[in-house]
Structure 1
Amino acid sequence: MSTFTALCVSLLSLFTVGYCYVKLSRVSGAIVSQSSTYKSALLAVDGNYAQYYPECAFTGKNEAYAWVQVDLRKAYSLKSVKLYLRNDAILCLSPPYRLRQFYLDVSNSSAGTSRQRVRCYTDNTTAPATPSPVIDIPCKQTARYVIIQTTYKAPEDTDSTGPVLEICEIEVIGCNIGHYGPSCSSCGGCENCNIESGCRVTCSQNCIDRECDEYGNCSRGCKHGYWGNKCLNGCPSTCFMTVCNMSSGICNSCNAGYYGSLCHMSCSRSCAQPSCSQNGTCIGRCKPNWIGNRCDECSQNRYGPQCDQECSPVCLNGTCFSNNGSCKEGCNINFHYGKVSLNVSL
């Protein structure tokens, strides 16, 4: 039997629970503290689930803010946090009105610092309603500290001019980092170990919020400029604003001067305007001496790479081949045939 399984069985013999993750707030040598003290913070992690006045931790009165912190002494992979709030309503006394609008954060820095936290829960209860006396909060994060905090002053409170927290028990549920599931089984060293399901592939950094399924397919789509199930492909840089279809990579539209489904072909330089339609048709007119939908043909009396050379006046109807200037329909009367018909001296 593994250490975590044995610990799980041991905990089952001590507490009535419907799951068997590790209660980190009880077995990690956790240190509990609070912003100020009216009744000892230790009452919040003593394993006593009674929710009336003598059994609960209280912060001090008349303060600007109140917090209670559980320091697990190292970072763990967390699953949830369960709070048992003071609830004298079970004795036909007052419900937990002081606990309105508290929030629960987790962090790798203590409550006394301003470093980054992750918020797992915010209570939005407003008077006269009161929060549920037992709140089970999903919190799948990796963290060392669990912090319950409030600045709320209850209108019913005649004993204090500031916020007060009254918490009877805090259960922090989870496993050692790299372990998962009710028995805290090993993830075998995989890079992304989910606390509930175990190993997951590493999501591409191009996934929105780096969320993906067990196969690496991005769950919420791709960040701007990427496409594909795993968002590994970049949209062509010639797509307008680098936006393309997330399934096919086809550009929604092209930057000026490009066309085609992938915007990989250049519009003709002979278009009067720098842009063209998705099939390459010039928008508007052609530049002088050019004709055709794509402005890629010389007008009938012009030839040369730039269509800037005029067909010989001795060509019949003034027409010639655009590539070499040879008369297309023959020569006018009294002139001889050749690459370019010339006047015959009389």
Structure 2
Amino acid sequence: MSDINVAVGKPANQSSTHSIWVPDKAVDNCTKPYVESGCCSHTDPINRTTNAHWDVDLGQLMTIDDITIYYRAGYAKRFGGYQIYVYNVTSTIPTLCYSDMSSAISDVKLTVTHQCPYVIRYVQVYNYRLNPKRHEWYSDHAILELCEVQVWGCPVGRYGDGNCDSVCSGKCYGGNCNATTGACFYCAPQKYGDKCDNDCSINCLNQICEKDTGNCNGNVAISGTAQQSSNMDNTRWLAKQAVDGCVQTTITSGCCSHTRAIGPNTAWWRVDLGTLVTINAITIYYRDNSQYRLARYELVRYGPTQPLSTTRRRCPLLRGHQYYFSSCTVDDQTPVPVCRDTY
């Protein structure tokens, strides 16, 4: 990895502590997977808790790629079912990065690296135990024994070369880039390429093109006129924020729209593309950890002269003027298989 471990020596805490195995032991740069080595953290195994967590504060926003965990050797029964969360402020709901779904104890890897491409400040490792247990081989109670947690990334605006001493291109939209390669996450309108050095063709609609290839199959909804059935807040989470080019899916990112949480049992969001456009696909980035709110949604289109009360055609369609996104409220326990859909 050409980025660095940004967790070394950072402040850590855990839900409880067993004897001398304090949370800081998991960020001391020692990867020996034995508690006798003095390199591991350990939550309390005596009080028989149903959940346990360990957290590290990276001190500032970091662009991260991967998280590596060294767990105590021989204790897969305690590690099984663990989850990794990331978040920016302590008052927000963390974003799930990984959830272990191992069905057999032999499937649990005690030294493991997970991709986790986020801009975050905090990392949490969490585990829990239900009654009855999900698997018979699980430990009876929630215990964490982390010997090292490595978070690979760079401070926002910097990347790679083993020490994060390179600065992201000034042409990167928002000033941030991949912590390993330095490739821009986003380009300003009418630009494309890894470092956003290239101009989109003037033949592209509004001179908008795909960020990686320069193809004229860009997002024609950007800067379209958007509306929604209601506003959760009249200053934040407005309809236009769903077509601002930002695809972060946390509500605190300022990138999402949001209708009122209390009110009618239907909600809608729509965008006017401004002209007739031939389209190939529609991609939706929905709010993290809110899949139950997306259940039973419909994606339909209508033309410039069709009122909303008329019959609307469901996608997929190849040609349209406006697109209408409708969701119906459901019971909070209704499962939804995916959070992001492409049409």
Q: Bin the TM-score by the shorter chain.
A: 0.5 to 0.7
1:246 to 279, 283, 286: 279
1:224–1:109 Cα change, 3 Å: closer
* Aligned residue in 1 for 2:93: 116
* Aligned residue in 1 for 2:235: none
Using structure 1 for the length normalisation, give the TM-score: 0.52
AA matched with 1:59: T
1:256–1:177 Cα change, 3 Å: closer
Of structures 1 and 2, the larger Rg is shown by 1
Are 2:37 and 1:59 equivalent residues in the alignment?
no
AA matched with 1:103: Q
Could you tell me which runs of 5 or more consecutive residues in structure 1 were left unpaired when the two chains were aligned.
Answer: 1-18, 89-94, 205-210, 264-346
Distance in 2 (CA, whole Å) between partners of 1:48 and 1:151 is 26
AA matched with 2:24: L
Determine if contact 1:202/1:216 at 8 Å carries over to the other structure.
no
Could you tell me which runs of 5 or more consecutive residues in structure 2 were left unpaired when the two chains were aligned.
Answer: 190-208, 225-242, 246-270, 282-300, 308-318, 322-343
1:163–1:52 Cα change, 3 Å: same
2:70 to 84, 95, 100: 84
- Higher-strand-fraction structure: 2
* Aligned residue in 2 for 1:30: 10
Give the alignment of 1:1-346 within 5 angstroms: 19-26=1-8, 29-38=9-18, 39-55=21-37, 56-61=40-45, 62-88=48-74, 95-110=75-90, 113=91, 115-152=92-129, 155-156=136-137, 161-183=140-162, 184=164, 185-189=166-170, 190=172, 191=174, 192-200=176-184, 201-202=186-187, 213-214=211-212, 235=273, 244-246=277-279, 254=303
AA matched with 2:178: N
AA matched with 1:132: K
The Cα offsets for residues 137-180 of structure 1, whole Å up to 9 and x where unpaired, read as 1112111111001113664567xx52111111111111111012
1:235 is displaced (CA, Å) by 3.6
1:212–1:138 Cα change, 3 Å: farther
Higher relative contact order (CA 8 A, sep 6+): 2
The Cα offsets for residues 190-241 of structure 1, whole Å up to 9 and x where unpaired, read as 324222332534377xxxxxx9533676989666997xxx99995457x7xx
AA matched with 1:49: T
Determine if contact 2:65/2:116 at 8 Å carries over to the other structure.
yes
Once the two structures are aligned, what percentage of the paired residues are identical?
A: 23
Distance in 2 (CA, whole Å) between partners of 1:125 and 1:262 is 45
1:255–1:138 Cα change, 3 Å: same
SS of the residue corresponding to residue 54 of structure 1 reads: helix
The Cα offsets for residues 22-59 of structure 1, whole Å up to 9 and x where unpaired, read as 11111xx4011101111321221222212123242111
Distance in 2 (CA, whole Å) between partners of 1:60 and 1:203 is 50
Deviates more, 1:98-107 or 1:191-200: 191-200
1:65–1:135 Cα change, 3 Å: same
AA matched with 2:125: I
Determine if contact 2:76/2:105 at 8 Å carries over to the other structure.
no
AA matched with 2:3: Y
Using structure 2 for the length normalisation, give the TM-score: 0.52
1:67 is displaced (CA, Å) by 0.5
SS of the residue corresponding to residue 117 of structure 2 reads: coil
AA matched with 1:87: A
1:109 is displaced (CA, Å) by 2.2
Determine if contact 1:97/1:130 at 8 Å carries over to the other structure.
no
Distance in 1 (CA, whole Å) between partners of 2:217 and 2:278 is 16
1:21 is displaced (CA, Å) by 1.6
1:221–1:25 Cα change, 3 Å: same
Distance in 1 (CA, whole Å) between partners of 2:169 and 2:123 is 27
AA matched with 1:72: L
